[in-house]
């Protein structure tokens, strides 16, 4: 594994991130011109939040969870049901999505946190399937296979001002702000003492236990937290789609988030999952426009990534970057001259 | 009690089929410590190949096809049981060649690789055969049904269960009573020593993987007439296979068989009273058992937990 550059992990704002935020903030201005559509921007942000939440479990804690779609879906249903049956207030419904998914995650965590490796993976699949079956079969509550329809994009009411989120552009900016806040919170979390303890558990559970950490509690809490944030993303997704479907809870869809995270490089980088979501959703639309068998090509691509670049796109970038900085250190003077006067090899 | 008997019987026949589906999966998990998520897709591929071979237009040269179709259905079915798995075995070889690079790494990589393979196979199936459902013909002698208790039973279901039991028995003989089985088990236990003894471990692993793949195909062919053939059937098969393996304990042959029967019973009995929720019963059974017995019924400690 390649260690992250130390200076980046403590800083909140790096040049790369500044560029990223700038790009994200201007999406509605140019997305239609490059042949995509505004809704895709919303989808990318929501899936990025979901993938980052998922990566708390897979990348940070090293726990293979393969039923994570369940919590995303639970969040979506909770948002819709809260809106229909409790109160149609954006904040309360989003909190409900967060809380209900978090509770479901905590319940599951009680059962699985003593498990390791493949048994852990199997248990998460079993629970994911239980929730999925419940969603499909409880026709009266969830609408069965048809899902929960007519969910509204509730206005964001701040007391002094209220914003209508029904349009795609307004909703995009709302999601962007929420995404920004959530990302800062996640970044702080991963680099906090708590996050460090989780990373220690990933390296060796036994060693962490001997150092006096309550491994069970850490594993359970990170899982519940990840489920809660996934549910929150699910709530946003219900707003984006104006509906909640059992589809996102299926084993396949749970697999997609694993793929996104892995392809992007979630195992070695905080931002990896976001890269993966970008690639996945854009590939879905671009390859999907050319052929209706886009999963075939994505599957082949995925196999190639696992075989040749298991640390994902982020890992590849980091390796290149490290090589470059090593090389430049070796030939400090020469490189600068060659860059200035040509003849230097750009990587 | 007598009222329950038909449901128990039904559950047990179903259980034998589950055990058969899980068997190839178990061999690969237990002996190579690799999880083959493509198992379900290979199962589906077996069923599709069989459907194509048995169907009105087999993919053969015209004169060969004619003499093939002239054979009695029973003979054709028996031949298909060998030919289709052999064809699926070739796909298994391709997967194993890719998978080699993941041996000795985190089992997560093998799992993800086969997830990709499953996606590719399923999409290929969709491209080749479309999304519609197909029916496989079964020989006249085993089709139809009979009445027992107050239920109508399909004869084929019992034949399928019988074939499943026979295949399970054969695999047991192969693993427990032949020198091939002994070598394979030794390879799983301590690969260093086996290699030091001059045994070609690379070839051994290929053989085990392809054998597991072919068992998936056999299961697909046998189960297809009962469940029907559709692109999604792979997922429907791989999940019970998971459950059976974890419930029985990774690496335990009899664990898998008993767990298969248990899952079948759970599905059969719950299906009698709450058919809507019968799928749920197997997950609940798994959670209940694994909560109290971490490694399933007869599982041993393995590197998969690290």
Q: Rounded to a whole number, what is the distance in Å from the CA of B52 to chain A's nearest CA?
A: 22
Residue B300 is assigned to a structural domain of this protein: no
The verdict on residue B73 lying in a domain is yes
Q: For residue range B35-49, what is the model confidence (pLDDT) as tens digits?
A: 888 999 999 999 999
Cα A73–chain centre separation: 14
Query: Residue B148: which H helix or E strand, with range?
Result: strand B145-148
What pLDDT sits at residue A343?
43
Asked if A83 and A152 count as a contact pair (C-beta separation under 8 A), the reply is: yes
Predicted confidence at residue A122, as pLDDT, reads 82
B94 touches chain A (CB under 8 A): no
Tell whether B62 is within 8 A of chain A (Cβ).
no
Q: Do the chains contact at B280 and A122, CB–CB below 8 Å? A: no
Average pLDDT across chain B, whole number: 85
Distance of residue A163 Cα from the nearest chain B Cα, in angstroms: 42
DSSP 8-class letter at B304 = G
Q: Is residue B68 part of a domain?
A: yes
Task: Report helix, strand or coil for A120.
Answer: helix
Whether residue B126 lies inside any domain: the answer is: yes
The tally of domains found in chain B comes to 1
For position B84, which CATH number holds? 1.10.3470
Question: Using an 8 Å Cβ cutoff, are A58 and A258 in contact?
Answer: yes
Q: Name chain B contacts of A312, Cβ cutoff 8 Å.
A: none
Low-confidence ranges of chain A (pLDDT < 50): 1-7, 337, 339-347
In b/e form, how buried is each residue of B221-235, taking b as 16+ CB within 10 angstroms?
bbbbbbeebbbebbb
Q: How far apart are CA A293 and CA A184, in angstroms?
A: 37
State the residue range of the domain holding B251.
3-292
CA distance B256 to A329: 58
Question: Residue B86: pLDDT band by 50, 70, 90 thresholds?
Answer: very high
Q: Which of B124, B250, B291 sits opposite A296 (nearest CB)?
A: B124
- pLDDT of A332: 56
pLDDT the model gives residue B259 = 93
DSSP classification of residue A32: T
Q: Is residue B305 one of the residues assigned to a domain? A: no
Interface confidence, given as ipTM, is 0.81
* String of DSSP letters for A184-239: HHHHHHHTSHHHHHHHHHHH-HHHHHHTT--HHHHHHHHHHHHHHHHHHHHHHHHH
Question: How many Å lie between the alpha carbon of A110 and the closest alpha carbon of chain B?
Answer: 10
Domain annotation covers residue B42? yes
Mutation to test the B interface, candidates A104, A128, A145, A299, most B Cβ within 10 Å = A299
Instruction: Convert the pLDDT of each residue in A250-302 to its tens digit.
Output: 888 898 899 889 888 888 888 889 989 988 888 888 888 888 788 888 888 88
Kindly list the structural domains of chain A, giving each domain's residue range(s) and its CATH number in brackets, ordered by start.
8-294 (1.10.3470)
Of residues B102, B123, B250, nearest to A296 (C-beta): B123
Query: Cα A317 from chain centroid?
Result: 19
Q: CB contact, 8 Å: B290 with chain A? A: yes
For B69-89, what is the mean pLDDT?
A: 88
| Candidate from A129, A296, A303 with C-beta closest to B98 | A303
A133, A252, A307 ranked by CB distance to B101: nearest: A307
Tens of pLDDT, residues A175-188: 999 999 999 899 99
B288 is a domain residue: yes
Q: Percent of chain B having pLDDT more than 70?
A: 95
Give one DSSP letter per residue of A160-178, joined into a string.
S-EE---SHHHHHHHHHHH
Q: What is the average pLDDT across B129-150?
A: 77
pLDDT reported for residue A225 = 96
pLDDT at A5: 47
Is residue B304, in this structure, part of any structural domain at all? no
Predicted TM-score (pTM) of the model is 0.85
């Amino acid at each position: 594994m390649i260690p992250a550059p130390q200076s980046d992990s403590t800083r909140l704002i790096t040049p790369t991130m500044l560029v990223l935020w700038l790009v994200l903030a201007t999406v509605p201005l140019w997305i239609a011109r490059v042949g995509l559509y505004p809704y895709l921007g919303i989808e990318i942000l929501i899936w990025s939040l979901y993938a980052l939440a998922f990566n708390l479990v897979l990348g940070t804690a090293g726990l293979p969870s393969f039923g994570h779609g369940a919590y995303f879906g639970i969040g979506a249903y909770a948002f819709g049901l809260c809106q229909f049956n409790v109160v149609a207030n954006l904040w309360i419904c989003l909190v409900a999505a967060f809380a209900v998914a978090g509770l479901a995650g905590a319940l599951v965590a009680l059962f699985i946190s003593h498990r390791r490796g493949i048994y852990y993976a199997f248990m998460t699949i079993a629970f994911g399937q239980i929730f999925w079956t419940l969603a499909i079969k409880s026709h009266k509550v969830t609408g069965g296979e048809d899902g929960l329809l007519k969910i509204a994009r509730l206005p964001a009411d701040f007391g002094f001002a209220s914003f209508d989120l029904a349009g795609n552009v307004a909703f995009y900016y709302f999601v962007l702000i929420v995404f920004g806040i959530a990302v800062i919170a996640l970044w702080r979390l991963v680099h906090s003492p708590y996050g460090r303890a989780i990373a220690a558990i990933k390296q060796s559970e036994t060693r962490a236990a001997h150092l006096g950490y309550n491994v069970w509690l850490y594993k359970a809490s990170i899982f519940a937290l990840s489920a809660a944030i996934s549910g929150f993303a699910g709530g946003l997704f219900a707003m984006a789609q104006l509906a909640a479907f059992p589809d996102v809870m299926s084993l396949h869809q749970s697999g997609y988030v694993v793929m996104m995270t892995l392809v992007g490089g979630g195992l070695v980088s905080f931002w990896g999952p976001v890269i993966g979501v970008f690639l996945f959703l854009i590939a879905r639309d671009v390859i999907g426009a050319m052929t209706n068998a886009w999963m075939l090509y994505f599957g082949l691509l995925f196999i190639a990534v696992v075989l040749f670049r298991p640390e994902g796109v982020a890992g590849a970038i980091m390796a290149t970057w490290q090589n470059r900085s090593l090389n430049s250190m070796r030939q400090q003077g020469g490189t600068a001259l060659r860059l200035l006067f040509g003849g230097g090899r750009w990587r | 009690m007598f009222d329950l008997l038909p449901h128990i019987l039904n559950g047990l026949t179903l259980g034998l089929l589950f055990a058969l589906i899980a068997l190839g999966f178990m061999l690969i998990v237990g002996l190579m410590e690799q999880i083959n998520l493509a198992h379900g897709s290979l199962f589906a591929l077996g069923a599709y190949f069989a459907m194509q071979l048995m169907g009105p237009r087999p993919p053969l040269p015209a004169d060969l096809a004619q003499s093939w179709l002239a054979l009695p259905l029973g003979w054709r079915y028996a031949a298909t049981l060998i030919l289709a798995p052999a064809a699926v075995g070739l796909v298994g070889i391709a997967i194993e060649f890719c998978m080699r690079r993941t041996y000795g790494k985190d089992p997560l990589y093998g799992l993800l690789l086969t997830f990709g393979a499953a996606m590719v196979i399923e999409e290929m199936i969709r491209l080749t055969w479309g999304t519609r459902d197909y029916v496989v013909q079964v020989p006249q002698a085993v089709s139809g049904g009979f009445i027992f208790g107050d239920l109508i039973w399909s004869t084929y279901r019992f034949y399928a269960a019988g074939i499943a039991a026979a295949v399970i028995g054969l695999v047991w003989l192969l693993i427990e009573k032949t020198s091939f089985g002994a070598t394979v088990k030794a390879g799983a236990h301590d690969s260093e020593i086996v290699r030091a003894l001059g045994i070609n471990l690379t070839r051994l692993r290929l053989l085990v993987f392809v054998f597991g793949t072919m068992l998936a195909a056999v299961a697909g062919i046998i189960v297809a007439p009962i469940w029907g053939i559709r692109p999604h059937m792979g997922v429907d098969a791989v999940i019970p296979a998971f459950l059976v393996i974890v419930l029985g304990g990774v690496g335990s042959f009899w664990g898998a068989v008993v767990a298969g029967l248990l899952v079948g019973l759970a599905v059969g009995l719950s299906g009698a009273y709450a058919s809507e929720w019968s799928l749920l019963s197997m997950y609940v059974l798994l959670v209940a058992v694994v909560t109290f017995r971490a490694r399933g019924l007869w599982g041993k400690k393995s590197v998969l937990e690290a």
